Amino acid sequence: MSDHAQHPVSTLAADVPTFADIYHDSIMDRENFWAEQAKRIYWHKEPEQILDDSNLPFAKWFVGGETNLCYNCVDRHLADRAEQDAFVWVSSEINQELIETFPAVVDSFEDLGNNVEFYTDYAKRRLTYNDLYKEVNYFADVLQRHGIGKGDRVIIYMPMILEAAYAMLACARIGAIHSVVFGGFAAHNLAIRMDDAEAKMVITVDASLRDGKVINYKNLVNQGVEQATTKPEHVLVVNRGILPFEPRNVDVDYATERRHSCEAHAVVAPVWLESNTPSYLLYTSGTTGTPKGVQRDTGGHAVALTTSMDYVYDGKAGETFWAISDIGWAVGHSYTIYAPLLAGMTSVIYEGLPHLPNPGIWWRIVEANKVNILFTAPTGVRMLKKQDESWMTRYDVSSVKSFFLAGEPLDESTANWLSQHLGVPILDHYWQTESGWPILSHTPKFNHKPHKQGSPGYPMYGYEAKVLNEETGEPCRAGEKGLLAIKAPLPPGCLTTVWRNDERFVSSYFGLFDGQQYSTSDYAVTDEDGYFYILGRTDDVINVAGHRIGTQEIEEAISTHPEMAECAVVGIQDELKGELPIAFCVLKDQSQVETTENRFRIEQQVIGAVVKSLGGIARPAAIYFPQALPKTRSGKILRRSIRALAEDRPTGDMSTLDNPAAIDAIKQSMKDY
């Protein structure tokens, strides 16, 4: 057991204030409010200053304080909950049948010290805080023995397996900065991130499974390394035994290294980091083709997540939280890994799809693990809603006390369907990769205001969120549409800058009005009761199944096609996934698509270029070949008008259009389809 295990989770004063008091204090008495919240975590050295706002919009929280995220997530719980589960891992991709096809999978679990139970249609491992402590120490030891230390960047490109969690926590333990890349992204995405982060190491697996189909992660990493200018010194491979693993010169086999660490009973002391030291980078799409490296700090991040688990989610130590998300997204970082552990809860890590092996899998996992709080994006629920109702009713889900949804608009019928079957509050809430925790939410703990359908709630403590007039920056009246903005300083836990690009942080997020308003790039409106409603993005970013994709990134991939003159990608409404990208491609020689055969070939090539560059998530749902794209006189493509045409809505004022004939060209191209 750690020498540092004498700092169990502390709770705040027993008399619970009202949410209105909390919100008021968080804005009007900011420093005292956050000084109080900071007591929730263990500080090796107490902060000297709660907030340094001398250089806004850059805010520094808990200046001079020293802490460690991994220590707070793991070691601190050894005193009180060493034998409680920290994680429950369930995979519906690994099952009895699969291990007969891939017998090496069983050996590999053994090699990795992974005590997995196999069932007919899933596999499971429970991992106590004590087990987690050991595994994270082994992982940290392996990292250190391969030259990784404080400030080094490590890319984690892994499926939903326990080793991904160990890798993140091990980085946090030794002060390395992780950057998790979503497993659905392609080699090109990886290469961009390797270069921007100047990653010293990549951690990956041989392969993964999606609906039984093998996904060759290692090959994608090899291609990413080839494309990247900055080559990692090592590629650490967790060999799952799915594909044969032939180590190349930079490759390191994790199981072999782990064995050394395990035999040596390796214990790695947590590295105490000044609160503002970066803990991780998470790249997210913006309006330009290059993703932004959202940078999170250490102390503010730990305080914000711990506080949110109490004040927003009403999660308690010993309870079970399941954020059904991939670790490649902000939700996976904050609410699958860090926040539940910070709060001493059990977190479920699920490898699999919502409807396989059958549409009852979520509820079966809930029943088996007595999940108390659920969190996912509406898309997954919409998938289940299409299935036979009996899948929902055959399991005992009475352990659930609330179900949070975020990432995309929650439609009424999905919310009603869930609420009818679960009989618990179905709570829409709103946040972004940048914020890392909810900006708008409902708060079941405080019973502050009744839940209102269609609204993700009201501003959370710490966020001075307002709807501002786009032109003037003045606050909008209730009912008036405007830009959702947050006045600097952003509260703890939000991005502190864009990795190595302070200028981009300021220009992307604080470029409007007086330079002190963070723009969410979402339109919103409030009602008379102070509830907020999200009305969609102000930029060319689309939201596919709760995931943000820049249309420009897709356009860049399409433009690599040798026949392409220009193209425009827009998102259109989709019943299941919220939005889907569609592409309008103008070819250098339009006669190329006159025959069905040629047209099909070019369509497939365009789709192939997008999937190769960005992964299947960005795959266009349709490709049209108009003669021209509508543009303003200054040459700007009018994507909003194209989108209106695609959705059969009025295009609005077309007087600024340089080439009115393009409107008919767009309509004609959709008829030809």
Least distance (Å) from ligand AMP to the CB of residue 533? Answer: 9
Residue 67 vs 543, nearer CB to ligand AMP? 543
Question: What is the Cα–Cα distance from 250 to 483, expressed in whole angstroms?
Answer: 48
DSSP 398-453: TT--EEEE-SS---HHHHHHHHHHH-S-EEE-B--TTTSS-SEE--TTTT-S---T
DSSP category for residue 237: E
> Of all helices (H) and strands (E), which one includes residue 136?
helix 129-145
Residue 449 vs 561, nearer CB to ligand AMP? 449
Q: Strand pairing partners for 564?
A: 587
Residue 278 vs 456, nearer CB to ligand AMP? 456
CA 343 to centroid of chain Cα atoms: 20
- In 12-57, DSSP assigns E strands to 49-55
Q: Residue 237 corresponds to which amino acid? A: V
Residue 18: burial class (beta carbons within 10 Å; 0-12, 13-18, 19+): exposed
Three-state DSSP class for residue 208: strand
Residue 175 vs 332, nearer CB to ligand AMP? 332
Sign of CA dihedral 652, 655, 658, 663: positive
Residue 128 vs 379, nearer CB to ligand AMP? 379
CA distances from 343 to 317, 439, 493 (A): 6, 20, 15
Residue 370 vs 537, nearer CB to ligand AMP? 537
Least distance (Å) from ligand AMP to the CB of residue 327? Answer: 14
In the block, residue with structure tokens 């709660």: 50
DSSP 142-204: HHHHTT--TT-EEEE---SSHHHHHHHHHHHHHT-EEEE--TTS-HHHHHHHHHHHT-SEEEE
CA distances from 280 to 339, 342, 449 (A): 15, 16, 35
Residue 430 vs 625, nearer CB to ligand AMP? 430
Q: Strand pairing partners for 532?
A: 457, 526
- At residue 587's C-alpha, the angle toward residues 581 and 592, to 5°, is 115
Least distance (Å) from ligand AMP to the CB of residue 454? Answer: 10
Residue 5 vs 440, nearer CB to ligand AMP? 440
Three-state DSSP class for residue 283: strand
Least distance (Å) from ligand AMP to the CB of residue 548? Answer: 3
Q: Strand pairing partners for 320?
A: 346
Least distance (Å) from ligand AMP to the CB of residue 513? Answer: 19
In the block, residue with structure tokens 């909950």: 81
Residue 524 vs 585, nearer CB to ligand AMP? 524
Q: Which residues bind ligand AMP (CB under 6 A)?
A: 284, 330, 406-409, 428-430, 432-433, 456, 520, 522, 534, 537, 543, 547-548
Least distance (Å) from ligand AMP to the CB of residue 324? Answer: 14
Least distance (Å) from ligand AMP to the CB of residue 467? Answer: 14
CA distances from 213 to 94, 210, 241, 243, 352 (A): 12, 5, 14, 12, 12
DSSP 94-110: S-HHHHHH-THHHHHHH
Least distance (Å) from ligand AMP to the CB of residue 643? Answer: 15
Three-state DSSP class for residue 519: strand
Nearest to 143 by CA among 168, 110, 109: 168
Least distance (Å) from ligand AMP to the CB of residue 611? Answer: 20
Residues with Cβ < 8 Å from 190, sequence gap 6 or more? 155, 157, 181, 202, 220, 221, 223, 224, 227, 228
Three-state DSSP class for residue 306: helix
Residue 450 vs 650, nearer CB to ligand AMP? 450
Least distance (Å) from ligand AMP to the CB of residue 562? Answer: 32
Least distance (Å) from ligand AMP to the CB of residue 594? Answer: 40
Helices 104-111 and 254-263 sit at what angle, rounded to 10 degrees?
Answer: 30
Residue 319 vs 522, nearer CB to ligand AMP? 522
Q: How many CB atoms lie within 10 A of CB 130?
A: 17
Least distance (Å) from ligand AMP to the CB of residue 532? Answer: 10
Least distance (Å) from ligand AMP to the CB of residue 575? Answer: 16
346-351 and 320-323 beta bridge pairing:
parallel
The answer to whether the beta carbons of residues 568 and 540 sit under 8 Å apart is: no
Least distance (Å) from ligand AMP to the CB of residue 119? Answer: 33
Least distance (Å) from ligand AMP to the CB of residue 464? Answer: 18
Residue 67 vs 284, nearer CB to ligand AMP? 284
Residue 407 vs 581, nearer CB to ligand AMP? 407
Question: What is the Cα–Cα distance from 153 to 198, expressed in whole angstroms?
Answer: 7
